[in-house]
Chain A
Amino acid sequence: MRIDGKGLIDRRKPISFRFDGQRYDGFAGDTLASALLANDIRLMGRSFKYHRPRGVLTAGSEEPNALVTTGLGPAQEPNVRATTLELYEGLMARSQNRWPSLGFDLMAVNDLAAPFLGAGFYYKTFMWPKAFWEKIYEPVIRNAAGLGALSGEANSDKYEKAFAHCDLLVIGAGPAGLWAAMEGARAGLDVILCDEDTQPGGRLNAETETVGGMAGAEWAASVVAELRAMGNVRIMTRTAVIGAYDGGTYGALERLAPEVAQRPGAARECFWRITAGQAVLAAGAIERPVAFRNNDRPGIMTAGAVRAYLNRWNVTAGRNIAVYGNTDEAHRSVRDLQAAGLHVSALIDARPHATCDLDVPFFAGAEVSNAEGRQALEAVEIRTAKGVEKIRAECLAMSGGWNPNVHLTCHMGGRPVWDRDIAAFVPQPGAVPGLHVAGAARGVFDTAGCLADGRRAARAALEALGRKAAEVDLPEAETARYDIWPVWAVPGKGRAWLDFQNDVTVKDVRQAAVENFRSVEHMKRYTTQGMATDQGKNSNVAALAVLADATGRGIPETGTTTFRPPFVPVSIAALGAGAQGKGFAPQRFTTSHDASVARGAPMIEAGLWYRPSYFPQAGETHWRQSCDREVQMVRRAVGVSDVSTLGKIDIQGPDAGAFLDMVYTGMFSTLKEGRVRYGLMLREDGYVMDDGTTARMGADHYVMTTTTAAAGQVMRHLDFVHQCLCPQMDVRFISVTEQWAQFAVAGPKARDLLTELLGADQVDLPFMGCGAVRIDEIDARLFRISFSGEAGYEIAVPARYGAALFERLCEMAEARDGGPYGMEALNVLRIEKGFITHAEIHGRVTAKDIGMGGMVSAKKDCVGKPMAARPGLSEDLREELVGLRPLGEIKELPAGAHLFDEGAEAMAENDQGYVTSSCYSPSCESVLALGFLKNGRARHGERVRLVDHLRGVDTICEVQDPVQFDADGGRMRD
């Protein structure tokens, strides 16, 4: 219910929302959890396994119980913590893991079956029959257990990712963090201050403390205002730093405020990668629940949460409240509750030596042994030395002490250290380079201590940055003693919950120990403790304390499991922000792209490039019709194809020739100016890396082409060879792939076409010649090279003219019964000629394998030459490039099929080779293939069996020379 008070809600701004279809009202500043409590709703969810009724336990991001689903359809988001979900007008939230309703959940029968469903029950119960596991047991269990569900639709929300840089990152804006930021900012640093809450202040927003003569929350607001005004501080609220990474890099998840996230173009979340010179971790601490029988009843909360709801949101989960704790925090709770006019029915202090000066029924050295009420707490049983007493309470504020948030200090392998004095783990100093821990995250639990510790951490960061600290006076704040009497689990019958979210009880952990899962890592996996969305924030330390007890070891010897990022759940959508649709990968478009699309060409991806598959004409209903026509068009008339996507590298310098000699198997330093040579590039291990042509444009000037696929790899390789192997060479190179739009013009009428375009004198090039030409006053380059086996040229113009030249070339080709051709035809043309692509030079073939052993010059060294000569790469029985033609009825020779001797069984031991490329050749009127066959060059004319197990093809084909059309190459040269 809502009570009077001066919280941080804005009562002038009412907000209506829906929970499970019912309309409720809250105020601006509320979370869904505080608004539900204000509306007397304590039951907010059902547990993972037993479907136990659950209420809100905490007031922060560690919340294990109050998880809801928001949004509908593609915008549906499961497992949203009601404790961090800001209320906004129109919010619709639904409870999870219940059917048909939250109040009446049929699956709650699981709770009655609890004796059979303890730790490891899957492993023990569903052993046989084996076949039942996948089809029956697993689906049934998955259906019965779990939290929220995904919609199954693609997420429609926008997510962002962004980078930020600062001198000092402060993680957490409680007193320690605020003061660390102040010290850093006053010293002139660029500061980023992150806090996962909507309002900076940390516990100051939840307590009734005085700092600097003001209410804590007011003081926090004044510090924030001062920091904002300084200009060198960036305050990022709603931003949880989720991981610490190498080199001062931190990951952070920002949830945008609902009113911002709803604007057009806005992201819902932003994933930040923050690079910081130094960082201060002031992430605070999380209060521990105590395990006792039925400690999961709605209405039982951590004491800090009870105070936060009371002081910040002015709500309470009941009028009668019992308080149970093992530090002075319990007394603080009583004071706050009584000051708000609420009735505290009992103060149960576990410390036998505790005294009390408050007007409240007080039980020292006592414990809560049971809770009554099913869907809501009704009473608690208090066990003292004198016996058991039952006391009415609708709400129990419990505190088992505080666990410092050491998580980020463990992300680079650090292990937290047990501190006996506070019965908690504290960070291992120096565990993350450049990260200084301050305040409650280091076990300093009073405000004055936190402020001083924030100063200390900031000054350590300043020193590391070589900067001078500024003189700033620390404000006055309250000091407090932290006197704890460790209580983990109250002895007794029944189930006492440790991990609320994964339904793990004290008994489950003890059972694990009995079954010899004594390591904390084994216990975790056996019981699933700590494996839900809260990652054990509420339960890890208590669970390992119970395990330590059960195994007769101490807590430090038992140790913790590994803390890994993220600190709070991060949706995959945020991590992969921007990668949906067009953001998945950049797209590269050629200058002829629009013209190709206008001609109806389906565009296919070639790396990041898009290239036309074929250019359909009226009446063509199948790609093969278009492809066959385009092949015949090139063979009979003339075709035009955009080859701009091939890598082009401009190479200049006195040592350009010597450099090419080093990277190519062939000799390029002797290539004549105005000539082009085919080159084969090897990896240092002797296998083929790439191929292409290189033209010598001048004495010290070459232009290399690479395949489309390997352009990036070749550039990296050239840089490697130059910088790491031959730095003495005076050579410079740069990519000119994008500078030139280049088009192949191929076919018997190619020369005629180019004569019209350029004039006869400019076209007069020998086969494998090149030169500068001019088209309409534009400087262009002409190469007489062919990848089709026809008389062919490639003409290159500065890319700005690419679109226009492509149109003109198409018009000129069409006037000669030719036209553009696409990738399909290009592929057929080259298979007919036995020209290789990366289908053949796939990383496991040598120059000799593809019949180019003779191209490895004997006169010089080159990359890959020494290793190409090693035994195994040079012997005769390797698989060699061959052509294949079908002989039998079946005319398919699919790429990927394997080759066997005729009559041999089609099994791995008999494998003789495989098919790499295949097409229907209109020129040969046959299906053709290229492939590799053991000792293939000596086997031309042989019959081999071809089997494709995947596609069910089994046929006989004849081994041929890879060049199956125009064997002497006369068409190219004439």
Chain B
Amino acid sequence: MRITCPLCGARDRREFYYSGAAVALDRPAPEAGAEVWDDYLHNRDNPAGVTRDMWYHELGCGSWVVVTRNTVSHEVIGTALARDEKGRGA
């Protein structure tokens, strides 16, 4: 598997650490309430199709990268730096 790091270009998957859904970008307000926090931390969709998740270019440049990919075809549709994606919604 190859992931295109927005800074480094196409790289082998082994350089990356996987962490989970890009929902992680949307940290709720501290007082948002238990349900919202529960959703943020624990509840995930499991789509057969397009998904967005977080990869850390750990053995590369240290960027957190949002990867949009298809779980059925394994196609990587796009990548973006997390800091640029922040606030655009998951």
Chain A residue contacts of B75, Cβ below 8 A: 433
Q: Which of B1-53 contact A (CB under 8 A)?
A: 1-3, 10, 12-13, 17, 19, 24-25, 27-28, 30-32, 34, 37, 41
Q: Does the CB pair B82–A275 fall under 8 Å?
A: no
- Give Cα A273 to B14, complex, Å: 12
Chain B residue contacts of A911, Cβ below 8 A: none
Given A246-B1, A724-B83, does the pair A719, B12 have CB atoms closer than 8 Å?
no
- Give Cα A433 to B77, complex, Å: 13
- Of A163, A412, A725, which contacts B74 at CB under 8 A? A412
Q: Does the CB pair A720–B64 fall under 8 Å?
A: yes
The contact string, 1 if C-beta is below 8 Å from chain B, for chain A 718-742, is: 0110011101000000000000000
For the complex formed, measure the closest distance between the CB of B64 and the CB atoms of chain A, giving whole angstroms: 5
The chain B residue with its CB closest to the CB of A412 is B74
The chain B residue with its CB closest to the CB of A722 is B83
For the complex formed, measure the closest distance between the CB of B15 and the CB atoms of chain A, giving whole angstroms: 12
Q: Does the CB pair B17–A716 fall under 8 Å?
A: yes
- Of B2, B13, B62, B73, which contacts A719 at CB under 8 A? B62
- Give Cα A808 to B32, complex, Å: 56
A554 within 8 A of B: no
Given A246-B2, A247-B2, A866-B37, does the pair A724, B54 have CB atoms closer than 8 Å?
yes
For the complex formed, measure the closest distance between the CB of B78 and the CB atoms of chain A, giving whole angstroms: 14
Chain A residue contacts of B19, Cβ below 8 A: 720
- Of A248, A712, A866, A870, which contacts B30 at CB under 8 A? A866
For the complex formed, measure the closest distance between the CB of A652 and the CB atoms of chain B, giving whole angstroms: 16
Chain A residue contacts of B2, Cβ below 8 A: 246-249, 275
Q: Does the CB pair B81–A685 fall under 8 Å?
A: no
Chain B residue contacts of A433, Cβ below 8 A: 73, 75
Q: Does the CB pair B37–A245 fall under 8 Å?
A: no
The chain A residue with its CB closest to the CB of B25 is A724
Chain A residue contacts of B73, Cβ below 8 A: 433
- Give Cα A727 to B75, complex, Å: 29
Chain B residue contacts of A273, Cβ below 8 A: 12
For the complex formed, measure the closest distance between the CB of A684 and the CB atoms of chain B, giving whole angstroms: 6
User: In which size bucket is the chain A interface?
Assistant: 20 to 34
A861 within 8 A of B: yes
Count chain B CB atoms within 10 A of each CB in A723, A725, A865, A867 and give the residue with the most.
A723
- Give Cα A867 to B30, complex, Å: 9
B79 within 8 A of A: no
For the complex formed, measure the closest distance between the CB of A365 and the CB atoms of chain B, giving whole angstroms: 48
Q: How many residues of B contact A (CB 8 A)?
A: 32
The contact string, 1 if C-beta is below 8 Å from chain B, for chain A 673-687, is: 000000000001100
The chain B residue with its CB closest to the CB of A718 is B62
Q: Does the CB pair A861–B63 fall under 8 Å?
A: no
Number of residue pairs across A and B with beta carbons under 8 Å?
A: 70
- Give Cα A724 to B82, complex, Å: 6
Given A248-B2, A719-B64, A724-B82, does the pair A684, B41 have CB atoms closer than 8 Å?
yes
- Give Cα A407 to B1, complex, Å: 19
For the complex formed, measure the closest distance between the CB of A619 and the CB atoms of chain B, giving whole angstroms: 48
The chain A residue with its CB closest to the CB of B32 is A866
Chain A residue contacts of B17, Cβ below 8 A: 716
- Give Cα A245 to B17, complex, Å: 19
| Dominant secondary structure at the B interface | mixed
Chain A residue contacts of B34, Cβ below 8 A: 870
For the complex formed, measure the closest distance between the CB of B51 and the CB atoms of chain A, giving whole angstroms: 15
Chain A residue contacts of B24, Cβ below 8 A: 720, 724
Q: Does the CB pair A720–B56 fall under 8 Å?
A: yes
For the complex formed, measure the closest distance between the CB of B11 and the CB atoms of chain A, giving whole angstroms: 10
- Give Cα A245 to B1, complex, Å: 7
The chain B residue with its CB closest to the CB of A275 is B2
- Give Cα A727 to B81, complex, Å: 11
Chain B residue contacts of A725, Cβ below 8 A: 25, 27, 86
- Of A246, A685, A716, A724, which contacts B86 at CB under 8 A? A724
Q: Does the CB pair A247–B58 fall under 8 Å?
A: no
Q: Does the CB pair B30–A865 fall under 8 Å?
A: yes
- Give Cα A724 to B54, complex, Å: 10
Q: Does the CB pair B37–A723 fall under 8 Å?
A: no
- Give Cα A248 to B32, complex, Å: 44
Chain B residue contacts of A275, Cβ below 8 A: 2, 12
- Of A163, A685, A723, A865, which contacts B64 at CB under 8 A? A723
The contact string, 1 if C-beta is below 8 Å from chain B, for chain A 266-279, is: 00000001010000
The chain A residue with its CB closest to the CB of B56 is A716
- Of B1, B58, B82, which contacts A716 at CB under 8 A? B58
Chain B residue contacts of A716, Cβ below 8 A: 17, 56, 58
- Give Cα A724 to B41, complex, Å: 15
Chain A residue contacts of B74, Cβ below 8 A: 246-247, 412
For the complex formed, measure the closest distance between the CB of B43 and the CB atoms of chain A, giving whole angstroms: 13
Given A249-B2, A716-B58, A867-B41, does the pair A723, B76 have CB atoms closer than 8 Å?
no
Count chain B CB atoms within 10 A of each CB in A715, A727, A866 and give the residue with the most.
A866
The chain A residue with its CB closest to the CB of B66 is A724
For the complex formed, measure the closest distance between the CB of A736 and the CB atoms of chain B, giving whole angstroms: 15
- Give Cα A847 to B1, complex, Å: 40
For the complex formed, measure the closest distance between the CB of A362 and the CB atoms of chain B, giving whole angstroms: 52
The chain A residue with its CB closest to the CB of B64 is A723
- Give Cα A248 to B10, complex, Å: 11
- Give Cα A249 to B83, complex, Å: 29
Chain B residue contacts of A245, Cβ below 8 A: 1
Count chain B CB atoms within 10 A of each CB in A725, A861, A870 and give the residue with the most.
A725
Q: Which of A270-290 contact B (CB under 8 A)?
A: 273, 275
- Of A412, A715, A723, A870, which contacts B83 at CB under 8 A? A723
- Give Cα A333 to B35, complex, Å: 76
Chain B residue contacts of A867, Cβ below 8 A: 37, 41
- Give Cα A684 to B64, complex, Å: 17
Q: Does the CB pair A723–B1 fall under 8 Å?
A: no
Chain B residue contacts of A712, Cβ below 8 A: 58
The chain B residue with its CB closest to the CB of A273 is B12
- Give Cα A853 to B86, complex, Å: 31
Chain A residue contacts of B30, Cβ below 8 A: 861, 865-866
Q: Does the CB pair B58–A727 fall under 8 Å?
A: no
For the complex formed, measure the closest distance between the CB of A514 and the CB atoms of chain B, giving whole angstroms: 37
- Give Cα A723 to B66, complex, Å: 11
For the complex formed, measure the closest distance between the CB of B82 and the CB atoms of chain A, giving whole angstroms: 5
Q: Does the CB pair A247–B1 fall under 8 Å?
A: yes
The chain A residue with its CB closest to the CB of B41 is A685
For the complex formed, measure the closest distance between the CB of B8 and the CB atoms of chain A, giving whole angstroms: 15
Complex A-B, nearest 4 residue pairs according to Cβ-Cβ distance, in ascending order: A247-B2, A727-B83, A246-B1, A723-B83
| B contact set with A: CB distance below 8 Å | 1-3, 10, 12-13, 17, 19, 24-25, 27-28, 30-32, 34, 37, 41, 54, 56, 58, 62-64, 73-76, 81-83, 86
Known contacts A246-B74, A247-B2, then 15 further A-B pairs from the complex at CB < 8 Å, ordered by chain A residue: A249-B12, A433-B73, A433-B75, A684-B27, A715-B62, A716-B17, A719-B62, A723-B63, A724-B24, A724-B82, A724-B83, A725-B27, A725-B86, A866-B31, A867-B37
Q: List 9 A-B contacts (CB under 8 A).
A: A275-B12, A719-B56, A719-B62, A720-B24, A720-B56, A723-B64, A725-B86, A727-B86, A867-B37
